[in-house]
Every structure is written in C-alpha cells, then in structure tokens.
Structure 1
Amino acid sequence: MTLIAFLKHLVFAFGLFLFSSMICWKIIQRAKIMDTPNHRSSHTKPIPTAGGLAIVTTFFSGMGIIYCIAHETMITHKIFMGFTVSSLLIAGMSFYDDYKHKPLSLRLLTQIVAIIAVISFGMVITRIDLPFPGSDALGIVGYLITFVWILGLTNAYNFMDGLNGMAGGNAVITSFFLGIISFGQGSNFTYIVCYTLMAGTLGFLIFNFPKGKLFMGDVGSTFLGFTFATLAIISSLYDNAHTSLLVMPLLLFHFIYDTFFTFLRRLVAKENIFQAHRTHLYQLFNQLGYSHTVVTLFYCATGLAQGFGAFKLINTQDTQKFLLFIPYLVFQIIYSMVILYCAKKKQLI
C-alpha cells in the first residue's frame, strides 16, 4: 500500500470516529433508553444506554462506502451480503430488546435465525488448524461448529459487557490486532472492517471509559460478538490470505474462558444457568473492591498479551498452533482460582 493510500484510509477511519462520537453525544443529550440500577448493577444511578447504536451505525455506514467504492478490497458479493444482512438482523433485534426488554427466548431465536442466515449464504467453517484427523475437512460437522461458534461468542461478548470500558476496550484491541495481521497478510477486506469497527468503538469508548456517561447496551455487545465471530470465518476462508480461524479465539480467549468457566461452575453448583447473576470472574474481581478501571485495564492488558500471541500464531505451523493457547489457559486457571478463593473468603459466592 502506498503512503497516499494509507493516508486515505487514515482519514476515512478518523471520519468514522468523529461520526460515532457525534452519535454518542446526541444519544446522551436526548437519552430515552436508560439503564436503571438494580441488585445486579455495578452503577448507582440511571445511565443512558444503547450507545452501541453508534458502533452499529458507523459500521454499516463504513460497509456502505466499502461496497460503493472499494471494489478491489471486496470479497464475493454473496458473502458480503450475508455478513451485512445477518449483522443488521442481530443489531436490529438487540436495539429493540434494549428498548422493550423482550424475553430471552426471543433474543435467542433471533440469534439462531441470524446464524442460519450466515450459513445459508455459504459462510461455514470447513477446516480448523488442529492436529486431529478430519480437522482439515470437517464436512457436515462444520455446520455444527459454525453454529456453536457464532452463538457462543455472540453471547459471551454480551455477558462480558458489565463494567465501563470492558466490552469497548477489548473490541478496540481485538480489531487492532486482527486488522494489523490482516493488513500484513493482504486480506484487505478484513483489514478495513477491523478499522471500521475500531473507529466506531473508539467513538463510543471516550464516553464510556473511565467514567460511564453512556452504556453500550445489547445493541453494541451482541453485535460485536456476532460480528467478530462471523468476521473470523470470513477472514479464514473467504478473504485473500485465509488467516487462521484460531486467531479470533486467541484474541478473545479471556472472554471465552470467563464465560465458559462461569457457566460450568454454576452448572456444577446446580444453580439456574438461565437466571441473571453477578458471578462472572470479572464481576467477582470488581466486587472484591477493585474499581471498574482496574478490572477493565487488567482484562485489556490480558487482551494485549493475547494479541501478541496471535502474531506468533500466524507464523506457527498448523499442527503446533493450538500449543500457543496453553500459557494463556494456565494463566486463566490460576487467575480463576485466586478470584474464587478470595470471593469465597468474602462470602460473595
């Protein structure tokens, strides 16, 4: 890429950032959807929510511009439309849920429909860089893996949106690292989508961290989780460089681990896994007396470490890639043991 082309991209990204910031400011000024504190909340006064609408609006504005003028960076029309339509469905339903507070069953049904749309447009995981028989030609199993992957990450990201800057800060980090990796490998579509997401999220983040003047809402967190999950499939199978599918699970390993570990812990404890709670590891960390800022920065620092691991992963042989997850897994196990020990000592669980 020439210097002139790079500067054009930079100006475009900065314009998206300003656009997102303006929308956030307008939402705060004319807030109609408020997050009122309850027994599970970590804030004490009503805060405007649905700030994720700025991220969503910025994203689709960027997608529209990419579609109209950036033909050389485009993936196939079918994949682009599937990506855009399914993401719009998730964002629309999530915004409606922020406004009307619909039951879990309707949200889950919408997510399933969106995932079916993704699959019907041909976005299916066909291979994973793992040293197991059949991992390079998954066949019909790939449909099941695709379904579980998108549904799992969509909800994991939503569950992890509970402290100022948590979801937004890690979205910026994830977009940054995947964008740099994609740029270096020549996957220009993924690269542009990443800095579009990053610009939109930064525009929101300046109002959300460290002081929560505006919350993301489900429209932001659910959309980000779904988009990251779907973008990982596009990047690995349909963009130029075919970046390893394992990059995204590594970039968001702390979110995936926290969600999966909490689910298993509650299941073993025979708790109602469908009942809302405040016992995710990051929530317990906060309840131990550490501020939103400290906990969020801890998770962002972990995300940064995982980002550097992602750089290492793309230069590692396929049969060895999964080994790079081991040190991060060990770290998370130690972290969870410490948090649970301290939380039980303070009778938080």
Structure 2
Amino acid sequence: MDVGLGVLDHPNTRKIHSPPTPFLVSITVYLGYLVGVFLYSFSPLLHKDLLLILSAATMLLVVGILDDAGFLHPQIKLMVAMPVAALILILFYLNLKIFSVNLVNYFFTIFWVVGITAAYNLLDGMDGLSTGVCVIASFFYFIIGFIADDSFLVS
C-alpha cells in the first residue's frame, strides 16, 4: 500500500534501515486489530472495555501517524499521549490492580501505557524490530490470558 502511494520512510541519521521502507505500516496493523475486534464483536463475551481500547488505539494511531510524518515534536506527542491514556483509563476504570490504593494504580497504569508506547516508538527506527516485539508480546498476553482464563486478555 505504502509503496504504491509513494509513502516511504527514507533513511537518515536516526534510522538503521538502508532502503526506503513503508511508512504507514501502523495503519495495516490497526486494520488487523479492527478485524479481530469485529470478529470478537459477535461474541456474547464482548466487553465494553474492548471498544474503549479501540477508541484509545484510534487516537494513538492518529498521534503516531502525525509523529511519523514529522508533524509532532516528541514533547508535544507526550503531552497528547498522556491525557489520552489518562482519559480512557480513568473514565472507564481500566487500571493495573497492583497496589491497594486505587489512585496509585491509576498513575502507575498511565505511566505504564505512555511509557510502553514511548519505548515501542524507539524501536520503530529499526526495521522489523517493532513488529517482532509486538508479536512476542501479543503471544505472551495470549498465554497469560489463557492461563488466567481471561477471555478479554486472550482476545
């Protein structure tokens, strides 16, 4: 898709790849995610949380595309990503339940989501690495969800 449209990421001092590579691969990954959400939507186990995560993913996709296109400075991206993560996580009570104090759980979850997103973005300059890390992480989320009998995490 990117090659046909001429939307390629050309190598520079920040990039490790040598040939120009597709630029909007994130849209393809997002579309794959949408297919999974669509298939899961027929399940009686559909969680409202899945749609909320889809909303957050959509907002972060837009931020990522603007960042990849060079329209966002890293600090601005962080100032957008943090409130998006906070809004979705707090409004819909999504948080890692690690500590006994709920407020601490929310802050830790926001830090986790924004931190993982930023760390993953650092891998983006290395051709293929971000995809491999995503596949490995998804596999382990599936295994953990399967063992914990958590259909939401498995999906």
Question: What is the TM-score with the length of structure 1 in the denominator?
Answer: 0.41
| 2:102 is the alignment partner of 1:139 | yes
Counterpart contact for 1:82–1:117, Cα < 8 Å: no
Secondary structure at the aligned position of 2:69 is classed as helix
Q: Given the superposition, is the C-alpha separation of residues 32 and 109 from structure 1 closer, same or farther in structure 2, using an over 3 Å criterion?
A: farther
Counterpart contact for 2:26–2:61, Cα < 8 Å: no
| 2:43 is the alignment partner of 1:70 | yes
Counterpart contact for 2:85–2:114, Cα < 8 Å: yes
In structure 1, the partner of 2:94 is 123
Per-residue deviation, 1:100: 4.8
In structure 2, the partner of 1:172 is 135
Which has the greater radius of gyration? Answer: 1
Per-residue deviation, 1:95: 1.6
Provide the rounded CA distance (Å) in 2 between the counterparts of 1:185 and 1:45: 43
Counterpart contact for 1:37–1:45, Cα < 8 Å: yes
Counterpart contact for 2:16–2:125, Cα < 8 Å: yes
In structure 2, the partner of 1:27 is 2
Of structures 1 and 2, the one with the larger relative CO (CA 8 A, separation 6+) is: 1
Please tell me the residue identity of whatever aligns with 2:108. I
Counterpart contact for 1:33–1:98, Cα < 8 Å: no
Provide the rounded CA distance (Å) in 1 between the counterparts of 2:92 and 2:104: 17
Per-residue deviation, 1:179: 0.8
| 2:32 is the alignment partner of 1:58 | yes
Per-residue deviation, 1:167: 1.2
Per-residue deviation, 1:111: 0.4
* Cα deviation digits, residues 139-172 of structure 1 (max 9, x gap): 3222221221111111011112332321111211
CA RMSD of aligned residues (A): 1.9
Alignment of 1:1-349 (within 5 A): 26-28=1-3, 30-67=4-41, 69-72=42-45, 74-75=46-47, 77=48, 79-118=49-88, 119-125=90-96, 127-128=97-98, 135=99, 137-192=100-155
Per-residue deviation, 1:104: 2.1
> Where does structure 2 lack aligned partners over 5 or more consecutive residues?
none
What percentage of aligned pairs have identical amino acids?
Answer: 23
Question: What is the TM-score with the length of structure 2 in the denominator?
Answer: 0.86
* Cα deviation digits, residues 3-59 of structure 1 (max 9, x gap): xxxxxxxxxxxxxxxxxxxxxxx333x133221222222123432211121111110
Provide the rounded CA distance (Å) in 2 between the counterparts of 1:140 and 1:80: 23
In structure 2, the partner of 1:248 is none
* Cα deviation digits, residues 318-343 of structure 1 (max 9, x gap): xxxxxxxxxxxxxxxxxxxxxxxxxx
Provide the rounded CA distance (Å) in 2 between the counterparts of 1:139 and 1:184: 26
Provide the rounded CA distance (Å) in 2 between the counterparts of 1:49 and 1:36: 9
Q: Given the superposition, is the C-alpha separation of residues 165 and 44 from structure 1 closer, same or farther in structure 2, using an over 3 Å criterion?
A: closer
Aligned length: 154
Provide the rounded CA distance (Å) in 2 between the counterparts of 1:167 and 1:82: 24
